[in-house]
Structure 1
């Protein structure tokens, strides 16, 4: 082994030992979370409804039904989402005890189907572990972000170590010798599977880092746009609180819903943010396909008059902004449909195995070195 590879090997070893536990937890929870929507559709019947010929009821009616059992909670603090013709709508809010609640309703009748406390929901807990390790967010940002950054270096250094020096060695680097001793099988599992999963794991790791450190994603957007983002991407929604405006005669969520349905009629999913206290714009996002977050139109509304202050349509976005929009779908694999989810699941599962097999390799070599030293002393 060359001095360069020895140095890379040392780096790979110590970085792996330092970050292994976090990488294992984040990877295994990521694998579990990949199919969360599919599993929930099978186990939570209140997520689906029968399609009806009538139009969905307006957001104000959904909010009133969801908050009926929670006096003192204002509708202006709710998040309301329509997921599509065959899916229930939801209203999200935090109750007086601080519990995050998600209420499922029939979008055609406004009937409450189910109320879910997200503190005890399995996939909410998995997501919290995946993102924050149940640590305070300010601490988790650096623990998880630092470990995933190290994992990226590990993937690259692992490829350097895997690369065969001679052509005749390449064939054996692509296959696992299942008939060999268990230590050799473990070594091959680490090396061979690590090579096959490296490119996908790199995409998953980087897209995760973009969520933790948005500045990194903005740097990529800047590069993709050639250093010259489209003018509309630089727009910031500003609200002139001193301007005299006509107060809306209808509930603001209803105005928002009607407007975006008219401007983005082909989009299935509509997410309406809190309307606030009239001091900040009200935001709304519409998505082409339910539970997919890439293809979206964005709106900002005046919180008093309901006037559209700003709109950003997917078709007019720059290449960099489109890349930014696809980050979540890329991270969970659904950018490529169900097959992409399978790939992301397997890649996450193998990524979780790498710290385990790598530690076993290190432990075996360490014990082997100790045994050799004892024999030399005895001799």
Structure 2
């Protein structure tokens, strides 16, 4: 082995020791989360409603129902998940916590309520993002470990790549008939090779979720040669009505939702953010597919007057913004449907296995080195003893 590869091996091994446990946890939770929608749809009836041949209730009517149940709560987000799915309102009761309230979007009947911390998949998501630590701490531990993992994947690829063409066929396959240590060695190297490209994509998209500079870097890279800036495109507008309530002819959430329905009637899912504490704007987004967060067209309205302040038409968005909005769907593997979910699941499972198989390889080599040292010492002792007998 060349001195360069010895340095790479040293880095590969010790970086693995540093990040291995976190990578294992993050990868396993990523596997579980990949199919969370399908699993929850199969287990919970409240995630479905019977389709009715009539329009949805107005958002204000749903908010009125939730306000009666949670009079002290502010209702920050309203979801219309799809024609055969419930509407959802996020009720924020401050210190008392958050509550997801699911309603029939045609009748306004509350069908289910749930605290986020009681949902298994939300717990899995928080482990994945923060290791159940305070977010400000957990995201950095996870983020640094993911960056280290990317370096491990690259160094591993360089170390593994076969020199001779004749070795490549053997290097790309697992020798299932070999001894278990050989099988483990192949699992680490061969599966690591096949998973590298997907693992790096999942790592980068994960970092973009946690850290805005990464998201902005992706945006700028995709927009090379374009004059539009990140701030110009994503900054939400502010109210210009001097905070005078009652200027609109009807609740602004209703105006916003009606406008979105008219402009993007083909959208399957709508999200209204009703949290205008800073900007004084109420926004609504129409999404092409239910439970998918890419391919969105959005609008921002003045909280008080109902005036349309800004439109985010999907076809007019920059490539960078489109790519950023696809980030979640890419990260969980749903960007291309069930097939890409399976790919993301398998890649995450392989990533979880790499710290385990790598540790087994290291322990095996350590044991082999100790055994070799013992044999050498035994041989030296035998030769010395034999020489002493001959002399005497």
- C-alpha offsets along residues 252-277 of structure 1, whole Å, 9 cap, x if unaligned? 21121112112222211111112445
- CA distance, structure 2, for counterparts of residue 359 and residue 78 of structure 1: 47
Match of 2:163 in 1: 165
Would you say 1:54 and 2:54 are equivalent positions? yes
Rounded to whole Å, the distance in 1 between the matches of 2:306 and 2:150 is 46
Deviates more, 1:331-340 or 1:232-241: 232-241
SS in 2 for 1:335: coil
Q: Structure 2 residue aligned with 1:129, among 124, 127, 131?
A: 127
Please, which runs of 5 or more residues in structure 1 have no aligned partner? Answer: none
- Give the 3-state SS of the residue equivalent to 2:309 in structure 1: strand
Q: Please give the alpha-carbon distance, in whole angstroms, between the structure 2 residues aligned to 1:170 and 1:276.
A: 59
Confirm whether residue 330 of structure 1 aligns to residue 335 of structure 2: no
Please state whether the residue corresponding to 1:119 is helix, strand or coil.
Answer: helix
State the Cα deviation string for residues 190-214 of structure 1 (Å, max 9, x = none). Answer: 0011011111111111111111122
Between the two proteins, the alignment pairs up a number of residues equal to 377
Choose which of 212, 226, 237 in structure 1 pairs with 2:210. Answer: 212
Counterpart among 139, 142, 150 of residue 140 in structure 2: 142
Pairing 1:5-44 to 2, within 5 Å after superposition: 5-44=5-44
SS in 1 for 2:270: strand
Please list, as runs of the form range in 1=range in 2, the aligned pairs for 1:1-379 lying within 5 A after superposition.
1-74=1-74, 77-230=75-228, 234-235=232-233, 236=235, 237-240=237-240, 242=242, 247-276=247-276, 280-378=280-378, 379=380
Relative to structure 1, the CA distance from residue 89 to residue 242 in structure 2 (aligned partners, 3 Å threshold; closer, same or farther) is closer
**CA 1:181/1:254 → structure 2, altered by over 3 Å: closer, same or farther?**
same
- Describe the SS at the equivalent of 1:31: helix
Q: TM-score, normalised by structure 2?
A: 0.92
Inter-partner Cα distance in structure 2 for 1:100 and 1:245: 27
User: How big is the shift at 1:280?
Assistant: 2.2
CA apart distance, 1:247: 1.2
Asked which structure has the greater CA Rg, the reply is: 2
Gaps of at least 5 residues in structure 2 are: 381-392
Separation (CA, whole Å) in 1 of partners of 2:30 and 2:105 = 31
Superposition RMSD in Å: 1.8
**Secondary structure in 2 matching 1:149:** helix
Q: Please give the TM-score of this superposition, normalised by the length of structure 1.
A: 0.95
Quickly say closer, same or farther: Cα 1:51–1:212, change in 2 above 3 A: same
CA contact (8 A) 2:91 2:98 kept: yes
Q: Please say which of residues 84-93 and 31-40 is displaced more in the overlay.
A: 84-93
